[in-house]
Structure 1
Amino acid sequence: MSVTLHPTDVLTFQRPFNEVITQRLILTNRNAEPIAFKVKTSAPLKYLVRPNKGRAEPGESLEISIFLQPMRTEPPPDYICPDKFLIQSTFITADREKLSLTDIWNAPVMSVIHEIHGQKLRVTYLPSDSTPPQKMTYSELENKYKDALLEIERLKTLLEGAAKPTDEKVRAVFIRPWTGAQGHY
């Protein structure tokens, strides 16, 4: 059991950050039972989430608004944001139907039936005038790195070959037949 989120793994916020910036998160319950959800963040002073908890009926989609509060100073363009969001969900079974959302989440120990599922979202800050960065998997990044190392080795080989001419090139260029008494080649 889990809910479907859109966006699925990254929340992006477009610069400048001198005013409130809103991002929308769509939560869809694709289960046959209603679910309770709540949204947590690693930076609660920077973000306001509405609603931060709630109930979603089977097949229902809800819009969650995430507000990035204005910043005093703009982070550098290459800043990698460490902020994350955790969206937790659990089934509302018949025995929990009459409980409030607070009571559902404050239950001392949840049994296997009342398991909590969590999904994480990273936060990325986008430049003010560009399109979202292209996502790259670890293996794609590793392949680009290996290609770059191979290109460096190829260029080194070319440079070494240019700096040290072969014997035939040396004879052809530097050793000319003696032309006689004039003293030059």
Structure 2
Amino acid sequence: MAEFLSVHPSELKFPFELRKQSSCSLQLTNKTGHYIAFKVKTTNPKRYSVRPNAGIISPNSVCSITVTMQAHKEAPPDMQCRDKFLIQSAIAPHGATNKDVTQEMFNRRDEKNTGEFKLRVVYIPANPPSPVPEGDEDGASSTASSADDEIKRSSFSEAARSTIIKLKEEKEAAVKQNKELLNELEKARKQTRQGRGAASIRILLYFLLLGILVGYFIRK
């Protein structure tokens, strides 16, 4: 039979994962100057969905097909699949459309006007294992890295705790100093009422403001 279409890829490779659908793409390229009709068949039609499964490809054009495999409840032995696909092709009348495709086009006995292409199905792991770095067969590098990370985390935590404790002590000292200054201010007020120490109140106010500013910057 004649080869009107170029089919890529030459195998249908499906990522295999239990209880999950998977899909792969197929491209049909019309290598001729004719309108080519195509039809996709499979040995296991209940397991696969093909969109589109038939149509017309214009001269020197490409048609993309999506093949979806239904979910499996259990893995096949040795991950081998016996399913196969057949792509039939035939020369169609000039200007033909998808609606003009009939099975009779592919049943012609004239081999010059028809063609076939067979594809097998291959399962590939959906989540292949990550490659192991060279020199790390016993996992020593990974263990060392984990230990280093743990040390860094511990050192950081210790430094953070030390800083927090120091800031807390400075804050408590500032609060205590402010209370003492307020007590002194209250005493100065009493003295002022009795006509004594007008100058001392100004000094205490100065130190009070200074203490508040110091406490503010410590908290910052």
**Counterpart residue type for residue 18 of structure 1:** R
**Counterpart residue type for residue 112 of structure 1:** D
Greater share of helix: 2
Alignment of 1:31-180 (within 5 A): 31-76=32-77, 78-94=78-94, 97=96, 100-102=100-102, 105-106=103-104, 110=108, 112=110, 115-130=113-128
**Counterpart residue type for residue 5 of structure 2:** V
| Partner residue, 2:175 | none
| Partner residue, 2:185 | none
| Partner residue, 1:180 | none
Q: From the superposition, tell whether residues 84 and 108 of structure 1 become closer, same or farther in structure 2 (CA, over 3 Å).
A: closer
**Counterpart residue type for residue 15 of structure 1:** F
| Partner residue, 1:6 | 8
**Counterpart residue type for residue 28 of structure 2:** L
Q: For residue 97 of structure 1, report the CA deviation from its aligned partner.
A: 4.6
CA distance in 2, matches of 1:37, 1:6: 15
- Specify every segment of 5 or more residues in structure 1 that has no aligned partner in the other structure, as ranges: 132-185
RMSD: 2.5
CA distance in 2, matches of 1:80, 1:65: 21
Q: From the superposition, tell whether residues 109 and 72 of structure 1 become closer, same or farther in structure 2 (CA, over 3 Å).
A: closer
Is the partner of 2:73 in helix, strand or coil? coil
Across the two proteins, how many residue pairs are aligned to each other? 126
Q: For residue 75 of structure 1, report the CA deviation from its aligned partner.
A: 2.5
Q: For residue 17 of structure 1, report the CA deviation from its aligned partner.
A: 3.5
**Counterpart residue type for residue 79 of structure 2:** Y
% identity of equivalent residues: 34
- Specify every segment of 5 or more residues in structure 2 that has no aligned partner in the other structure, as ranges: 130-220
Is the partner of 1:58 in helix, strand or coil? coil
CA distance in 1, matches of 2:92, 2:35: 6
Q: For residue 42 of structure 1, report the CA deviation from its aligned partner.
A: 0.6
**Counterpart residue type for residue 125 of structure 2:** P
Q: For residue 114 of structure 1, report the CA deviation from its aligned partner.
A: 6.2
Q: From the superposition, tell whether residues 26 and 17 of structure 1 become closer, same or farther in structure 2 (CA, over 3 Å).
A: farther
Greater CA radius of gyration, 1 or 2?
2
CA distance in 2, matches of 1:108, 1:41: 15
Task: Write the deviation string for residues 156-175 of structure 1: whole angstroms up to 9, x where unpaired.
Answer: xxxxxxxxxxxxxxxxxxxx
- Where relative contact order (Cα < 8 A, 6+ residues apart) is larger, the structure is 1
CA distance in 1, matches of 2:74, 2:124: 15
**Counterpart residue type for residue 92 of structure 1:** A
Q: From the superposition, tell whether residues 71 and 93 of structure 1 become closer, same or farther in structure 2 (CA, over 3 Å).
A: same
Matched-pair contact (CA < 8 Å) for 2:27–2:63: yes
Q: From the superposition, tell whether residues 90 and 129 of structure 1 become closer, same or farther in structure 2 (CA, over 3 Å).
A: same
Is the partner of 1:59 in helix, strand or coil? coil
Q: For residue 113 of structure 1, report the CA deviation from its aligned partner.
A: 7.0
